[in-house]
Amino acid sequence: MDTKKRVVIIGAGTAGLCAAKHSIAAGMDVTVFEQMSQPGGTWVYSEDIGKDKYGLQVHTSMYRGLRTNLPKEIMGYPDFPIPGEGVSYIPAEEMLAFLQSYAKSFGVNSHINFNHHVIRVRPVGQPDGPHTWEVMVKDLPSDEVHTYTFDFVFVCNGHYHTPFLARYPGQDDFKGRIQHSHDYRCPEPYKGQAVLVIGAGPSGMDIAYDISKCAVRVTLSHHLPEQPKTIFPNNVTQRPDPVRFTADGAIFKDGTSEQFDVILYCTGYRYTFPFLSVDCGISVEENFVQPLYKHCVNINYPTMGFAGLPFYVCACQMIDLQVRFCVKLWSGGVPMPSQKEMMADTQREMEERFQKRGYKKRHAHMMGPDQGKYYADLAECAGLVPLKPVITKLHNESSQKFLDDLTNFRNEVYKIIDDETFVQVK
Ligand SMILES: Cc1cc2nc3c(=O)[nH]c(=O)nc-3n(C[C@H](O)[C@H](O)[C@H](O)COP(=O)(O)OP(=O)(O)OC[C@H]3O[C@@H](n4cnc5c(N)ncnc54)[C@H](O)[C@@H]3O)c2cc1C
């Protein structure tokens, strides 16, 4: 960059750390604001639920004893793999230690202002002309609010922190406890109880299994097109979606009903950016964040990037690519497309998703089988080193194993042989 451009990064999790690393490398003046007292984002486990000591919602959704649901061989960054051999599905503490060693290795920590909560981000100037970003931040321990000015913004606040709570008829009649997986920490409080877990995404499947170690019985209710092949313990039953709650339980689509002490929503999370003023031109409708170019550039103000929005991905790998993509555009390494071009590109992709494939709005940023194509597109458009094809291949294999054999798949061990090939060594 010709002059030292100022970039602000909101959040110091997987995405924020990576954004900081590449922005430092590009010669930018980097400031990170992180509301917690350490880096690592959702991997920072806390026993607390509800509000923290500053009155903010507890950010983490991590639960005790969590092991990753992807092998560590594909969970590192392209230039900073997770070290070690013998175990592929590592404990959350190891993932946190890895992220913290990444921050240390690339000199990111000295750029992070911990215990700083970003309250508001607002553009000053014209979208297609010169503009800056005004960022209002609260220093939590001192309770002071300061305002800063930056040239670029990386939004890296994560999207597994604000529960999505579906509403069911009769919900207010239910006399037991209703919770969301965001507040799930360990199975012991469910000892002797009958628990309904709603949703069979990664959290629902994992938590149903975890709770079954203490609960008297667990019902996993979902609308997966096929029953997962996993053999759950005997005290776990699967049912279709609930149609209504009653005072002491729920009635399901198949007409059956059961009594429960606790209903645990594993119904996912909402994308929220409470600090973005309306002038930023970003809206969220049923988890479709728009208008974004290639899921990571604000089309209304292309000096604002988002890292980490797509899901069913190899997070560190994809985030690294998205960050390199934004930095390349911002530094003039490749020309920034016009707003018209960006909008047309996004419309093409969303038409394909919604009209041709029948995706719902909430699937706007879902990758899964599309991830390889997305990674290749980002790399090609900005002339970046692409991700290795083996990463996507191993992701597909591991995701299938998760569904097929939840209770055992974490014992498997993988080794990457070359850019195309992995082997299962155990
Ligand atoms: C229970 C659980 C298990 C998971 N398991 C896996 C797994 O096995 N493998 C995998 O690849 N992925 C897993 N994930 C997904 C994981 O969240 C992502 O891989 C990745 O860590 C997300 O990183 P992030 O930086 O986008 O968000 P986060 O890690 O959430 O970090 C966001 C950061 O922004 C900060 N922040 C937010 N708002 C503000 C603000 N206003 N001001 C200042 N700071 C702010 C937060 O404090 C936080 O530190 C899991 C997620 C959960 C919830």
Sequence letter at residue 19 = A
Percent of the chain exceeding pLDDT 90 equals: 95
pLDDT digits over 298-354, tens only? 999 999 999 999 999 999 999 999 999 999 999 999 999 999 999 999 999 999 999
**CB-ligand 1 contact for 152 (6 Å cutoff):** no
Q: Which atom of ligand 1 is nearest to the CA of 11?
A: 34
Q: Which atom of ligand 1 is nearest to the CA of 42?
A: 29
How many other CB atoms sit within 10 Å of the CB of residue 372?
17
DSSP letters of 152-169? EEEE---SSSSB-----T
**Ligand 1 centroid to 41 CA: how many Å?**
5
**CB-ligand 1 contact for 71 (6 Å cutoff):** no
Which residue CA neighbors atom 19 of ligand 1 most closely?
A: 315
Q: Which atom of ligand 1 is nearest to the CA of 119?
A: 41
State whether residue 107 is helix, strand or coil.
Answer: coil
Tell me what the mean pLDDT of segment 7-18 comes to.
98
pLDDT value at residue 1: 47
**Ligand 1 centroid to 98 CA: how many Å?**
14
Sequence letter at residue 104 = K
DSSP character at residue 280: G
Distances (CA, A) of 45 to 102, 195, 420: 18, 24, 35
Q: How confident is the model at residue 256 (pLDDT cuts 50, 70, 90)?
A: very high
pLDDT above 80 for 192: yes
Phi, psi (degrees; rounded to nearest 5) at 113: -95, 100
pLDDT value at residue 63: 96
Tell me what the mean pLDDT of segment 269-279 comes to.
98
Helix (H) or strand (E) holding 104: helix 92-105
Q: How confident is the model at residue 131 (pLDDT cuts 50, 70, 90)?
A: very high
pLDDT digits over 71-84, tens only? 999 999 999 999 99
Q: How confident is the model at residue 273 (pLDDT cuts 50, 70, 90)?
A: very high
**CB-ligand 1 contact for 322 (6 Å cutoff):** no
pLDDT value at residue 228: 86
With contact defined as beta carbons under 8 Å apart, do 116 and 137 qualify? Answer: yes
pLDDT value at residue 2: 53
Tokens 């750390």 -> residue:
17
Average pLDDT for the chain: 96
CA 130/CA 140 separation, integer angstroms: 32
**Ligand 1 centroid to 279 CA: how many Å?**
26
Distance of CA 98 to the CA centre of its chain: 17
Phi, psi (degrees; rounded to nearest 5) at 117: -105, 120
Q: Which atom of ligand 1 is nearest to the CA of 14?
A: 25
Tell me what the mean pLDDT of segment 89-109 comes to.
98
pLDDT digits over 17-71, tens only? 999 999 999 999 999 999 999 999 999 999 999 999 999 999 999 999 999 999 9
State whether residue 10 is helix, strand or coil.
Answer: strand
**Ligand 1 centroid to 160 CA: how many Å?**
6
The candidate with the shortest Cα–Cα distance to 160, out of 59, 66, 15, is 59
Which residue CA neighbors atom 38 of ligand 1 most closely?
A: 157
Tell me what the mean pLDDT of segment 260-278 comes to.
98
**CB-ligand 1 contact for 315 (6 Å cutoff):** yes
**CB-ligand 1 contact for 391 (6 Å cutoff):** no
Name every residue whose Cβ is closer than 8 Å to that of residue 307 and which is 6 or more positions away in sequence. Answer: 15, 16, 18, 19, 154, 155, 156, 296, 319, 322, 323, 326
Name every residue whose Cβ is closer than 8 Å to that of residue 356 and which is 6 or more positions away in sequence. Answer: none
Tokens 């930023």 -> residue:
280
Helix (H) or strand (E) holding 344: helix 339-351
pLDDT digits over 157-176, tens only? 999 999 999 899 999 999 99
pLDDT value at residue 128: 80
pLDDT above 50 for 243: yes
- Burial status of residue 355 (CB atoms within 10 A of its CB: 0-12, 13-18, 19 or more): exposed
CA 233/CA 237 separation, integer angstroms: 9
Tell me what the mean pLDDT of segment 183-188 comes to.
98
How many other CB atoms sit within 10 Å of the CB of residue 125?
12
**CB-ligand 1 contact for 268 (6 Å cutoff):** no
The candidate with the shortest Cα–Cα distance to 154, out of 352, 14, 337, 343, is 14
**Ligand 1 centroid to 50 CA: how many Å?**
17
Which residue CA neighbors atom 11 of ligand 1 most closely?
A: 315
**CB-ligand 1 contact for 60 (6 Å cutoff):** no
Tell me what the mean pLDDT of segment 188-204 comes to.
96
**CB-ligand 1 contact for 160 (6 Å cutoff):** yes
pLDDT value at residue 394: 97
pLDDT digits over 376-401, tens only? 999 999 999 999 999 999 999 999 99
Which residue CA neighbors atom 4 of ligand 1 most closely?
A: 68
Which residue CA neighbors atom 2 of ligand 1 most closely?
A: 62
Tell me what the mean pLDDT of segment 103-114 comes to.
98
pLDDT value at residue 65: 94
Tell me what the mean pLDDT of segment 98-104 comes to.
98
pLDDT above 80 for 287: yes
More confident residue, 403 or 175: 175
The β-bridge partners of 189 are: none
Percent of the chain exceeding pLDDT 70 equals: 100
**Ligand 1 centroid to 216 CA: how many Å?**
32
**Ligand 1 centroid to 159 CA: how many Å?**
7
Q: Which atom of ligand 1 is nearest to the CA of 15?
A: 25
DSSP letters of 17-73? HHHHHHHHHTT-EEEEE-SSSSS-GGGS--S--SB-TTSPBP-----TT-B-SS-GG
pLDDT value at residue 129: 83
Tokens 């097929």 -> residue:
404
**CB-ligand 1 contact for 10 (6 Å cutoff):** yes
Pocket test for ligand 1, best of 9, 42, 320 (most atoms within 8 A of CB): 42
DSSP character at residue 289: E
Name every residue whose Cβ is closer than 8 Å to that of residue 24 and which is 6 or more positions away in sequence. Answer: 30, 106, 107, 108, 111
pLDDT above 90 for 227: no
CA 328/CA 150 separation, integer angstroms: 18
Phi, psi (degrees; rounded to nearest 5) at 321: -70, -45
**Range of lowest pLDDT (23-27, 224-228, 259-263, 341-345):** 224-228
pLDDT above 50 for 205: yes
**Ligand 1 centroid to 241 CA: how many Å?**
28
**Ligand 1 centroid to 251 CA: how many Å?**
34
**CB-ligand 1 contact for 75 (6 Å cutoff):** yes
